[in-house]
Structure 1
Amino acid sequence: MKIKHSLAAFILASSTLLSLSSAAQVAAAPHPEPKISFENYVEQLKQQALEKGFSEALVEQSFADVVYHKRAVKADRNQPESVETLETYLPKRVPDWKVNKAKDMLSKHKAELTKIGKQFGVQPRFIVSLWALESNFGRITGNFNVVSALATMAYDGRRESFFKSQLFDALTILEQGHIKISDMKGSWAGAMGHNQFMPSSFLAYAADGDGDGKKDIWNNTSDVFASIANYLKKVGWDNEITWARQVKLPENFDYKLAIPQNTGGRKPWLKQWSLTEMKLSDWQAAGVRKFNGNDLPHVDITAALVFPDGEEGRAYLAYDNYKSLMHWNLSYYFVTSVGHLADRIKFDQ
């Protein structure tokens, strides 16, 4: 049985809170410098933008209507936490109405999806599935001025370097002329358009689907579809295979075959670790079967077993395209919802 280990470098950054050990230390500690006003902070951002080579006209126009969004900071600090399993998550994320809508959109945009799918080597059903789950087919994209949102998040300070970098990337997008300043809208965190790209992702992956010289992920479905497909292609998508399949494990399955015991857990998006990959024939020999009990496909590809809810929950044989979807969003649940919707689109036709 041939086994290989493929490192999945999925690291989630964590912050450490420092505290003083006694009241005496607090009294002895120097008083922190008072935080500058948001208005003064914006002036600093403008100066830094000029130093990076952006024109004075662009900088003045981009920051002309910048305001501090308390709502964005509140949303960032109070993101809801809930205990979910795939059994409760999937019905909410992929309800029947969304499946039906996705099938309608696949039919409505068949010509351009087919063209873009062939151009980039990505099955149209996955393009539509990401479009559906990111923005409800472009209906929910956020109404924050992106420059304002990013300036607000940078000023908040918890991830200042990241959001400042995104802000300067947003200025680059404006400089390149893809969207008007007044139309550059997004989420409270600065995610933009139908596919909710952060500015850095836009610069890396956005594509001009209709050849008009612009990459408009806010209004142009050809550009939206091409950008989704280009992203997947650049992170290794294989048009010849699917994403994963739910499987049934034998009684007394040896989980050491799936997860090396030095990983310290079952959730690879929390830390760096290796998943065991084997050929489907080796998983077959280990007793793994399709969810309906039939034999696995007789094809020469490798897969890793993943357990989004731990060993007591669903088991999936994940192919290389699963990794590509994890690049998009570092969450087993999100990836499973994308694949589940794409499968519903395919199998319900």
Structure 2
Amino acid sequence: MKTKFIGVAAFLVGSIMSFQSFATPETDFDAYVQGLKQEAKEKGISESTINSAFKNVQFKPKAVVADNNQPEKKLTLDEYIPRAVPKWKIQQAKRLYHEYFDDLKRIGDAYGVQPRFIVALWGVESNFGRFTGNYNVVEALSTLAFDGRREALFRKQTMAALQIIDEGHISADNMKGSWAGAMGQAQFMPTSFLHYAADGNGDGKKDIWTTKEDVFASTANYLKTEGWDDKYTWGRQIHVPAGINPELQGRDEEKGKYLQEWSKIGITSLDGSPLPVLKEDIKAWLIMPDDEIGRSYLVYNNYNVLMHWNRSYYFAIAVSTLADRIVQD
């Protein structure tokens, strides 16, 4: 009987604790937001921006769940690429490439970035502006900062989002993005917006939500700033000899070799033909994202720039694949 009573008591205590942990986040969140407001004020954000940005802001559990959710199954590149770059997306990319070519060429020439890579990033990031997220960016970022798992990161992003509003690029109500705060058709985080967003149509604003010229210019500015060189492409899929030393792969600076050095190791083009002999040899890195059993690539520095944008081998290969398919018959 005593054991049963203790069990019931423990159950009641546990229930109360569970209820408290469920019930208090909103109250604690409100207090946390007051701290964000104070920090923003100290950083020189105007009172009107602070009031509009935090008006009706609430704790968003879905953003926290998404931040903690990790895919259980890792796809291989052979599985991932057809999903990330399906035939219908290639067809749309080709159509939009030609539809907006005049603006793309003007912006590409100004920044030194091939237009096909601008379109490819546009397509992979937001399906050409169709899927940009419908979260209130300040609300999502405040929630993730409050959650605490990566507080410093998301608190910094929250302050950057407020600065963007304060500078007049977009209103608080219209600043929409993903659960993580990635914004607009380019899916820039707020700090990336402040560093790389560009005015592509000369209207004095940097609008990556609705103005395609600004999306194109911001994308091109990011790539150029991070070291893009339009004299070269991104890399190539290749064939590696059986038993190749796995220590050769990787993007560390010391692992880069010129194409003819890779040829001497036994690496060939995918169809077995020799690697091209260029007038000016180019440095490349061997990557095998799925190890020896999967696809292998020699990638150039432009690929490394794409990895600055998103530190995923799969993402960078998807963008590169789509860019290639845009100009292929």
Q: TM-score, normalised by structure 1?
A: 0.84
Structure 2 partner of 1:297: 276
Matched AA of 2:143: T
Residue-by-residue CA offset, 1:79-126 (whole Å, 9 max, x unaligned): 333221001001111100000010011011011001111011111111
Equivalent residue in structure 2 for 1:45, among 36, 41, 44? 36
CA contact (8 A) 1:147 1:167 kept: yes
CA distance in 2 between counterparts of 1:161 and 1:136 reads: 30
Spell out the pairing of 1:315-334 with structure 2 (5 A cutoff).
315-334=296-315
Measure how far apart 1:275 and its partner are.
5.4
CA distance in 1 between counterparts of 2:128 and 2:196 reads: 19
Matched AA of 1:135: S
CA contact (8 A) 1:131 1:195 kept: yes
Unaligned runs of 5+ in 1: 1-33, 260-265
Say which is worse superposed, 221-230 or 34-43, in terms of deviation.
34-43
Residue-by-residue CA offset, 1:271-297 (whole Å, 9 max, x unaligned): xx5551111111112221111112211
Matched AA of 2:91: N
Greater RCO (CA < 8 Å, at least 6 residues apart)? 1
4+ runs deviating over 6 angstroms: none
Equivalent residue in structure 1 for 2:255, among 276, 280, 284? 276
Higher CA-based Rg: 2
CA distance in 1 between counterparts of 2:143 and 2:233 reads: 40
Q: TM-score, normalised by structure 2?
A: 0.89
Unaligned runs of 5+ in 2: 1-23
Residue-by-residue CA offset, 1:122-141 (whole Å, 9 max, x unaligned): 11111000000000000000
Structure 1 partner of 2:141: 150
The alignment yields a C-alpha RMSD, in angstroms, of 1.7
**Percentage of identical aligned residues:** 52
Structure with higher helix content: 2
Does residue 99 of structure 1 match 2:90?
A: yes
SS at match of 1:342: helix
Do the aligned partners of residues 255 and 58 (structure 1) sit closer, same or farther apart at CA in structure 2, a change above 3 Å counting?
closer
Matched AA of 2:277: H
Structure 1 partner of 2:3: none
Structure 2 partner of 1:177: 168
Residue-by-residue CA offset, 1:179-213 (whole Å, 9 max, x unaligned): 11111001111100001000000001101001110
CA contact (8 A) 1:305 1:317 kept: yes
Task: Give the count of matched residue pairs.
Answer: 304
Does residue 201 of structure 1 match 2:182?
A: no
Equivalent residue in structure 2 for 1:337, among 298, 307, 318? 318
